[in-house]
Protein backbone atom coordinates (compact mmCIF):
# COMPACT_ATOMS: atom_id res chain seq x y z
CA UNK A 1 0.00 0.00 0.00
CA UNK A 2 1.27 3.49 -0.87
CA UNK A 3 2.41 5.73 1.96
CA UNK A 4 1.19 9.25 2.64
CA UNK A 5 3.44 11.87 1.06
CA UNK A 6 3.79 15.59 0.60
CA UNK A 7 4.48 18.87 2.30
CA UNK A 8 1.60 18.33 4.71
CA UNK A 9 2.92 15.03 6.10
CA UNK A 10 4.67 16.42 9.23
CA UNK A 11 1.65 18.63 9.91
CA UNK A 12 -0.72 15.67 9.60
CA UNK A 13 1.47 13.79 12.06
CA UNK A 14 1.08 16.72 14.44
CA UNK A 15 -2.69 16.43 14.15
CA UNK A 16 -3.21 19.63 12.15
CA UNK A 17 -5.90 20.21 9.56
CA UNK A 18 -4.14 21.42 6.41
CA UNK A 19 -5.91 23.30 3.61
CA UNK A 20 -4.34 23.23 0.16
CA UNK A 21 -5.07 26.24 -2.07
CA UNK A 22 -4.41 26.72 -5.79
CA UNK A 23 -5.81 28.69 -8.70
CA UNK A 24 -6.77 28.33 -12.34
CA UNK A 25 -7.13 31.05 -14.96
CA UNK A 26 -4.72 33.74 -13.77
CA UNK A 27 -3.17 34.13 -17.21
CA UNK A 28 -6.35 33.93 -19.29
CA UNK A 29 -7.54 36.91 -21.34
CA UNK A 30 -11.21 36.27 -20.63
CA UNK A 31 -13.38 34.91 -17.87
CA UNK A 32 -12.93 34.77 -14.12
CA UNK A 33 -10.17 33.10 -12.20
CA UNK A 34 -11.01 30.26 -9.82
CA UNK A 35 -9.29 29.18 -6.62
CA UNK A 36 -9.79 25.79 -5.02
CA UNK A 37 -9.36 25.04 -1.32
CA UNK A 38 -9.23 21.45 -0.05
CA UNK A 39 -8.72 19.85 3.35
CA UNK A 40 -7.76 16.19 2.99
CA UNK A 41 -7.58 13.64 5.78
CA UNK A 42 -4.14 12.09 6.21
CA UNK A 43 -3.62 9.46 3.54
CA UNK A 44 -1.90 8.36 0.35
CA UNK A 45 -3.72 10.36 -2.28
CA UNK A 46 -3.32 10.14 -6.09
CA UNK A 47 -3.84 13.85 -6.76
CA UNK A 48 -1.28 15.77 -8.81
CA UNK A 49 -0.93 19.07 -10.61
CA UNK A 50 -4.00 19.60 -12.81
CA UNK A 51 -1.84 20.85 -15.71
CA UNK A 52 -0.32 17.36 -16.04
CA UNK A 53 -3.72 15.64 -16.39
CA UNK A 54 -6.08 15.06 -19.28
CA UNK A 55 -9.57 16.61 -19.03
CA UNK A 56 -11.06 13.15 -18.40
CA UNK A 57 -8.57 12.40 -15.62
CA UNK A 58 -9.18 15.81 -14.06
CA UNK A 59 -12.95 15.26 -14.02
CA UNK A 60 -12.54 11.82 -12.44
CA UNK A 61 -10.14 13.10 -9.81
CA UNK A 62 -12.30 16.15 -9.06
CA UNK A 63 -15.13 13.79 -8.16
CA UNK A 64 -12.71 11.81 -5.98
CA UNK A 65 -11.57 15.00 -4.23
CA UNK A 66 -15.18 15.89 -3.43
CA UNK A 67 -15.77 12.34 -2.14
CA UNK A 68 -12.79 12.06 0.21
CA UNK A 69 -12.11 15.64 1.33
CA UNK A 70 -13.00 16.77 4.84
CA UNK A 71 -13.91 20.09 3.21
CA UNK A 72 -13.62 21.61 -0.26
CA UNK A 73 -14.64 24.87 -1.90
CA UNK A 74 -14.08 27.05 -4.94
CA UNK A 75 -13.85 30.83 -4.83
CA UNK A 76 -14.04 33.17 -7.81
CA UNK A 77 -12.86 36.59 -8.90
CA UNK A 78 -14.60 38.06 -11.94
CA UNK A 79 -12.83 39.59 -14.91
CA UNK A 80 -14.07 43.00 -13.70
CA UNK A 81 -12.52 42.42 -10.29
CA UNK A 82 -9.28 41.38 -12.00
CA UNK A 83 -9.30 44.60 -14.02
CA UNK A 84 -10.06 46.72 -10.96
CA UNK A 85 -7.73 45.07 -8.43
CA UNK A 86 -5.01 43.51 -10.57
CA UNK A 87 -4.58 39.79 -11.00
CA UNK A 88 -2.59 39.16 -7.81
CA UNK A 89 -5.01 40.97 -5.49
CA UNK A 90 -7.94 39.29 -7.28
CA UNK A 91 -6.29 35.90 -6.70
CA UNK A 92 -5.99 36.70 -2.99
CA UNK A 93 -9.67 37.68 -2.95
CA UNK A 94 -10.75 34.44 -4.64
CA UNK A 95 -8.55 32.41 -2.28
CA UNK A 96 -10.20 33.99 0.76
CA UNK A 97 -13.60 33.24 -0.76
CA UNK A 98 -12.60 29.60 -1.36
CA UNK A 99 -11.38 29.20 2.23
CA UNK A 100 -14.61 30.74 3.55
CA UNK A 101 -16.56 28.00 1.74
CA UNK A 102 -14.79 25.17 3.57
CA UNK A 103 -17.11 25.21 6.57
CA UNK A 104 -14.19 24.48 8.90
CA UNK A 105 -11.14 26.40 10.03
CA UNK A 106 -7.82 24.90 8.91
CA UNK A 107 -4.80 25.02 11.21
CA UNK A 108 -2.41 25.63 8.31
CA UNK A 109 -2.76 26.71 4.67
CA UNK A 110 -0.47 25.46 1.91
CA UNK A 111 -0.34 27.40 -1.36
CA UNK A 112 1.61 27.35 -4.58
CA UNK A 113 3.78 30.43 -3.98
CA UNK A 114 0.81 32.60 -2.97
CA UNK A 115 1.64 34.46 0.25
CA UNK A 116 -1.85 34.93 1.66
CA UNK A 117 -2.39 37.23 4.63
CA UNK A 118 -4.48 35.05 6.97
CA UNK A 119 -4.95 34.55 10.69
CA UNK A 120 -3.52 31.00 10.39
CA UNK A 121 0.01 30.09 9.28
CA UNK A 122 0.59 29.97 5.53
CA UNK A 123 3.33 28.03 3.77
CA UNK A 124 3.84 29.16 0.16
CA UNK A 125 6.72 27.26 -1.46
CA UNK A 126 7.11 27.28 -5.25
CA UNK A 127 5.68 24.34 -7.19
CA UNK A 128 3.61 23.20 -4.23
CA UNK A 129 1.10 21.68 -6.66
CA UNK A 130 3.80 19.07 -7.40
CA UNK A 131 4.77 18.56 -3.75
CA UNK A 132 1.45 18.48 -1.93
CA UNK A 133 -1.63 16.33 -2.61
CA UNK A 134 -3.79 18.97 -0.92
CA UNK A 135 -2.58 21.75 -3.23
CA UNK A 136 -2.83 19.42 -6.23
CA UNK A 137 -6.41 18.55 -5.26
CA UNK A 138 -7.21 22.26 -5.01
CA UNK A 139 -5.70 22.84 -8.46
CA UNK A 140 -7.88 20.07 -9.89
CA UNK A 141 -11.09 21.50 -8.38
CA UNK A 142 -10.27 25.01 -9.61
CA UNK A 143 -9.38 23.89 -13.13
CA UNK A 144 -12.43 21.66 -13.56
CA UNK A 145 -14.81 24.31 -12.22
CA UNK A 146 -13.37 27.05 -14.42
CA UNK A 147 -13.23 24.90 -17.56
CA UNK A 148 -16.87 23.91 -17.12
CA UNK A 149 -17.86 27.55 -16.76
CA UNK A 150 -15.99 28.57 -19.91
CA UNK A 151 -17.48 25.69 -21.91
CA UNK A 152 -20.93 26.82 -20.78
CA UNK A 153 -20.23 30.38 -21.98
CA UNK A 154 -19.45 29.24 -25.53
CA UNK A 155 -23.11 29.49 -26.59
CA UNK A 156 -23.48 32.99 -25.14
CA UNK A 157 -20.42 34.28 -27.02
CA UNK A 158 -20.15 32.26 -30.25
CA UNK A 159 -17.15 32.65 -32.49
CA UNK A 160 -14.48 32.98 -29.80
CA UNK A 161 -13.85 29.28 -29.13
CA UNK A 162 -14.12 29.53 -25.34
CA UNK A 163 -14.98 25.82 -25.09
CA UNK A 164 -11.62 24.97 -26.63
CA UNK A 165 -9.15 27.48 -25.22
CA UNK A 166 -11.01 28.43 -22.00
CA UNK A 167 -10.16 32.11 -22.48
CA UNK A 168 -6.39 31.75 -22.79
CA UNK A 169 -4.50 33.68 -25.45
CA UNK A 170 -4.26 31.01 -28.13
CA UNK A 171 -3.87 31.99 -31.81
CA UNK A 172 -7.54 31.08 -32.34
CA UNK A 173 -8.62 33.34 -29.50
CA UNK A 174 -6.41 36.25 -30.58
CA UNK A 175 -7.74 36.00 -34.15
CA UNK A 176 -11.33 36.02 -32.88
CA UNK A 177 -10.57 38.97 -30.62
CA UNK A 178 -9.12 40.94 -33.54
CA UNK A 179 -12.11 40.05 -35.74
CA UNK A 180 -14.98 40.42 -33.26
CA UNK A 181 -13.62 42.69 -30.52
CA UNK A 182 -13.80 42.05 -26.77
CA UNK A 183 -16.82 40.58 -25.00
CA UNK A 184 -18.01 41.50 -21.49
CA UNK A 185 -15.94 38.51 -20.33
CA UNK A 186 -12.63 39.94 -21.47
CA UNK A 187 -10.07 41.44 -19.09
CA UNK A 188 -9.73 44.95 -20.47
CA UNK A 189 -6.43 45.72 -18.73
CA UNK A 190 -4.64 42.73 -20.27
CA UNK A 191 -2.45 43.94 -23.14
CA UNK A 192 -3.88 41.85 -26.04
CA UNK A 193 -7.40 42.97 -25.11
CA UNK A 194 -6.40 46.59 -24.49
CA UNK A 195 -4.72 46.78 -27.90
CA UNK A 196 -7.92 45.69 -29.65
CA UNK A 197 -10.06 48.01 -27.52
CA UNK A 198 -7.91 51.03 -28.39
CA UNK A 199 -8.08 50.60 -32.14
Average confidence score pLDDT of the chain: 95
Closest by CA to 19, choosing from 104, 87, 77, 90, is 104
Q: What is the pLDDT of residues 54-95, one digit of tens each?
A: 999 999 999 999 999 999 999 999 999 999 999 999 999 999
Q: Give the span between the Cα atoms of 140 and 38, in whole angstroms.
A: 10
CB 175 within 8 A of CB 162: no
> Is residue 155 scored above 60 in pLDDT?
yes
Q: DSSP assignment of 107-137, as one string?
A: SEEEESS-----SS-EE--TTGGGT-HHHHH
pLDDT at position 17 = 98
Q: Where does the chain hold its CATH 3.30.420.10 domain(s)?
A: 9-152
CATH number assigned to the domain covering 9-152: 3.30.420.10
Give the percent of the chain with pLDDT over 70. Answer: 97
Specify the pLDDT at position 1: 40
| Rounded CA separation 85/70 (Å) | 32
- Report pLDDT digits (tens) over 9-61: 999 999 999 999 999 999 999 999 999 999 999 999 999 889 889 999 999 99
At 103-126, the pLDDT tens digits run 999 999 999 999 999 999 999 999
Amino acid sequence: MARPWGLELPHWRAGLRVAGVDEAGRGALAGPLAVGAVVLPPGAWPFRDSKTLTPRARARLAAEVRRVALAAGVGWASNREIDRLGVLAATHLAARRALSRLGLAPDLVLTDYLALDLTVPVLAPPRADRKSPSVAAASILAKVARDRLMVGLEARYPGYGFARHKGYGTPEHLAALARLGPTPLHRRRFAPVARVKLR
